[in-house]
Amino acid sequence: MTTILTYLHYVFVEQFDVWIALGFLAQLMFTGRFVVQWIASERAKRSVVPVAFWTFSLLGGALLLVYAIHRHDPVFILGQAAGLFIYLRNIALIRGERRRLREAGTAPEASGAARQH
């Protein structure tokens, strides 16, 4: 038991610094995207992916990438970097759809599809 407590003290107390705080903040933002998606789906009574999901994904993923680079973790770096492209692409697709709807004279709020994002 002492070994476990010593380990936990080292991991969560002794090595705590600004980078660990950044890592926790990044992970909190990244996890927040699932909470946002769940709440939006519950309100709509169906599965939806709101824009905030992609915003949290992008911000949390970018911060986790910075953290991974600091930690020199190649697996974590590649995983987060690849995800950033997906998040950016989804945000670009949403913006393009909103622009097309505006140009067509259809307000995004009037469209059920726009609210799903």
**Looking at the domain assignment, is residue 100 inside a domain?**
yes
Domain contains 11: no
pLDDT in tens, 33-48: 889 999 999 999 988 8
Total domain count, the chain:
1
What is the rounded average pLDDT of the residues 8-22?
Answer: 91
The answer to whether position 93 is within a domain reads yes
Query: What confidence score (pLDDT) does residue 116 get?
Result: 52
Does any domain span residue 3? no
Whether this prediction's pTM lies above 0.85 is answered by no
Residue 88 lies in a domain: yes
Kindly report, residue by residue over 50-90, the tens digit of the pLDDT: 999 999 999 999 999 999 999 999 988 998 999 999 999 99
Q: Whole domain around residue 43: which residue ranges?
A: 17-116
Sign for the CA dihedral angle at 2, 7, 12, 13 comes to positive
pLDDT of residue 110: 43
1 belongs to a structural domain: no
